Amino acid sequence: MKTILLLCILNFSILATGQELQITNYIETVKKQDLSDLWTLAQFQVEDDTVTVERAEPLGYIGDNYQRFYIHFISVIQNPKNKLEYFVYGKTKVKDNICSFQGTLIIENAQTYIGPEFPTLKQGLVKGQYHFYEDPDQSGTGSLNGWFQSDFYIDEQGRLKYNALMFIADGFKNNQFEGSWTSYKSGVSKKCNWGDYRIPDSNELDYGAGEFGPNDKYDNFGWRTYRLSWENPTNQPEVAKARQIEQEKWWLNKLK
Query: How many other CB atoms sit within 10 Å of the CB of residue 192?
Result: 24
Per the CB < 8 A criterion, the answer to whether 152 and 163 are in contact is: yes
Query: How many other CB atoms sit within 10 Å of the CB of residue 248?
Result: 11
Helical segments of the chain, H only? 27-30, 37-40, 224-231, 237-246
Structural Rg of the chain based on CA atoms: 19
Length of the chain: 256
For the chain, the structural domain boundaries read 19-205
pTM here is: 0.90
d(CA 256, CA 245): 20
Instruction: Name residue 102's beta-bridge partners.
Output: 89, 133
Q: How many helices (H) and strands (E) does the chain have?
A: 4, 15
DSSP 72-85: EEEEEEEETTEEEE
For the chain, 256 residues long, give each residue's pLDDT as a single digit of tens.
Answer: 322 222 333 344 444 344 567 889 999 999 999 999 999 999 998 866 678 999 999 999 999 999 999 999 999 999 999 999 999 999 999 999 999 999 999 999 999 999 888 888 999 999 999 999 999 999 999 999 999 999 999 988 888 999 999 998 999 999 999 999 999 999 999 999 999 999 999 999 999 888 999 999 999 999 999 999 987 676 788 898 999 999 999 999 877 6
d(CA 51, CA 37): 18
